[in-house]
Amino acid sequence: MKTKHAVFIIAFFILMSGSAVAQFGAAAEPLPSWKDGTSRTTILEFVDTVTKEGGPDFVLPAERIAVFDNDGTLWAEKPAYFQLLFAVDRVKALAPEHPEWKEKQPFKGVLENDLRAALAGGEKALLDMVMTTHASMTTAEFEAVASEWLATATHPKTGKRYTEMVYQPMLELLEYLRANDFKTYIVSGGGIEFLRVFSEEVYGVPPEQVVGSSIKTKFEMRDGKPVLLRLPEINFIDDKTGKPVGINQHIGRRPIAAFGNSDGDLQMLQWTTAGKGKRLGVIIRHTDAEREWAYDRDSHIGQLAKALDEAKQQGWLVVDMKKDWSRIYPAGK
Amino acid sequence: MKTKHAVFIIAFFILMSGSAVAQFGAAAEPLPSWKDGTSRTTILEFVDTVTKEGGPDFVLPAERIAVFDNDGTLWAEKPAYFQLLFAVDRVKALAPEHPEWKEKQPFKGVLENDLRAALAGGEKALLDMVMTTHASMTTAEFEAVASEWLATATHPKTGKRYTEMVYQPMLELLEYLRANDFKTYIVSGGGIEFLRVFSEEVYGVPPEQVVGSSIKTKFEMRDGKPVLLRLPEINFIDDKTGKPVGINQHIGRRPIAAFGNSDGDLQMLQWTTAGKGKRLGVIIRHTDAEREWAYDRDSHIGQLAKALDEAKQQGWLVVDMKKDWSRIYPAGK
């Protein structure tokens, strides 16, 4: 027994030493799809700084919260938010039951394949349509409908599944942060239940770490079984000033790192970086018209103007997709 | 280097073996403040069953969600919800600024030390008072006020701090579940921001695992700094049918175990135990008039009637505080 004990003690110290970690299946270089340069370095240095025990900017693991916008930050958002394309398909599928939609925007535009007309009503109309087509069913029924769509629908330009249009460098970043004891959250203007259908499998983000827009739900008993019914009524819009509100409601703790790509993320970046100690604010800028899309100030979807101006004043990192990323989408997809 | 390697490998297997675990500060008997009997056995067997790899009822760690009501389940709730006693103190402190409260219930009752009159308006009036006294300040300001109160106020009967009136057997249960890779959540009718002030320190439950009632908050810039302002408007009431709604909104996954003590927990227990596979529904019954309080069907606060009837039909475990717990509050407090 004594020997066993001694071996244990020795092993314990070896385990704790960096050399053993380096020796055994040591970490490959982190963030392989990020090219060498300021963006990659800034991220690596931030993580080193806040995880360095005894350092002046050390952050306890429990407080290492990183929040990520989804549309345009973790996956693409052109020609329109993917959830909107899902809603379009739902409108078409449900149209026979709703003859009034033929005369009513945004449904009319959708049915006439005129997305521009459908979108003319702005974000509120957009969310209305999304929410309306997502309601009047149980949460379980919605999950089934959304899963089915994600498993079968393909993007009009790339022909890929939508879940294949996630950004490989961001997948690596999520993984890298979690390997450094960060809790990674999605904080999206998209629907919370829609995101949860794929967030765990695709991003490694479990449902309880997804914050998003929502419609109201109602508990009721059906044939002696409890269900949650999705009501056609907006509960919360997790965009712009709503993002810090959603973060506070769900997480209850200020993040130390925030990643966004549009003016919808401005307040989330402000809220995150206004906290004490070392903070990281990052904007993913769409600059790659060849491999992805290039857009900013004049884009209807994913408009980036105010947040880009403020990035300079605040010292937020602006990632240039074209220059900083060696790959956009995961390999072989 | 070779020796180091060999030692590491040996140590690894020792570390992984049960004998080493038993040898080194091995787990004491779990749930020491739970007396031997059906309640303790039922809980231990449930945990064994869902954590047994390869077993028919094995549940993946990510899905091991356990939800706990707070008032009357994790800490006492007599003579009134502790947060209400906090609100009472706040009403008294704020009364000089609100002369109209002298004529308006529930404030009138509070100022006249007639809590019964204040409570006559039912749960809605109760929540109104709580929310009103909690609003019109930033989230940071509220946190400071609530922290200060918890650090100084004492219970009228026991003279203890409120955070000392948590149930030792439940603290052990929370810890035991987490040691078995459960994620433990609080799902309370109480205010989410109030709970978060002490949940991590007292229960080991971090803010992101607290679900509760809330008032609306609003993001705004003050002197160039972002703040979240608490508005005097109810956002969500996390009680009764609201509990499954809150669980779905925050966790997005159905729990496999739920612990409550009153009719306010009925729907949470229904929702939890209606899921597929092994489930655990538990009601903590207040039966100990000497060490705590004894109440159920006729109590204004913590009424337990419907849920007690349904417990029989559904096979939920009813814990008898007097018979099942060898200790109520933590030692030395």
CA A258 to chain CA mean position, Å: 11
> Which residues of chain B have a CB within 8 Å of the CB of A206?
62, 253
User: What percentage of chain A exceeds 70 in pLDDT?
Assistant: 92
The yes or no reply on domain A28-77+161-227+236-324 and CATH 3.40.640.10 is: no
Q: What is the mean pLDDT of chain A?
A: 91
pLDDT digits (tens, 9 = 90+) for A31-47: 999 999 999 999 999 99
Which residue in the set A196, A242, A251 is minimally distant from B252, CB to CB?
A196
pLDDT in tens, B57-105: 999 999 999 999 999 999 999 998 999 899 999 999 989 999 999 999 9
Q: Which class for B63: exposed (0-12), middle (13-18), buried (19 or more C-beta within 10 A)?
A: middle
CA angle B152, B81, B119 (to 5 degrees): 120
Q: What is the pLDDT of residue A12?
A: 43
Q: Pick A249's closest partner by Cβ from B24, B214, B251.
A: B214
Please report residues of B whose CB lies closer than 8 A to that of A6. Answer: none
Residues 6+ away with beta carbon under 8 Å from B329: B160, B164, B165, B166, B167, B168
Contact B208 A253 (CB under 8 A): yes
Q: Does residue A168 sit in helix, strand or coil?
A: helix
Which residue in B has a C-alpha nearest to residue A7's C-alpha? B11
d(CA B307, CA B265): 8
Interface test with B, best of A228, A253, A270 (most B CBs within 10 A): A228
Matching CATH number, B28-77+164-324, of 3.40.50.1000, 3.20.20.120, 3.90.1720.10, 3.30.379.10: 3.40.50.1000
pLDDT greater than 50 at residue B258 = yes
* Contact residues on chain B for A12, CB-CB shorter than 8 A: 11
pTM score, whole prediction: 0.90
pLDDT of residue A23: 41
- Domain borders along chain B are 28-77+164-324
Half-sphere exposure of B133 (CA within 13 A, CB side): 26
Q: Is A279 helix (H, G, I), strand (E, B) or coil?
A: coil
Distance from CA of B202 to the nearest CA of A (A): 15
**Average pLDDT score over residue span A179-197:** 97
pLDDT higher than threshold 50 for residue A22: no
Band (pLDDT 50/70/90 cuts) for residue B123 is: confident
Tokens of B41: 């056995």
pLDDT, position A5: 52
Selected residue with higher pLDDT from A200 and B125: A200
Q: Name beta bridge partners: B8.
A: none
- What is the complex's ipTM, to 2 decimals? 0.89
How much is the average pLDDT of B214-237? 95
- pLDDT score at B13: 43
What are A243-266's pLDDT values in tens digits?
A: 999 999 999 999 999 999 999 999
Closest chain B residue to A271, measured at CA: B226
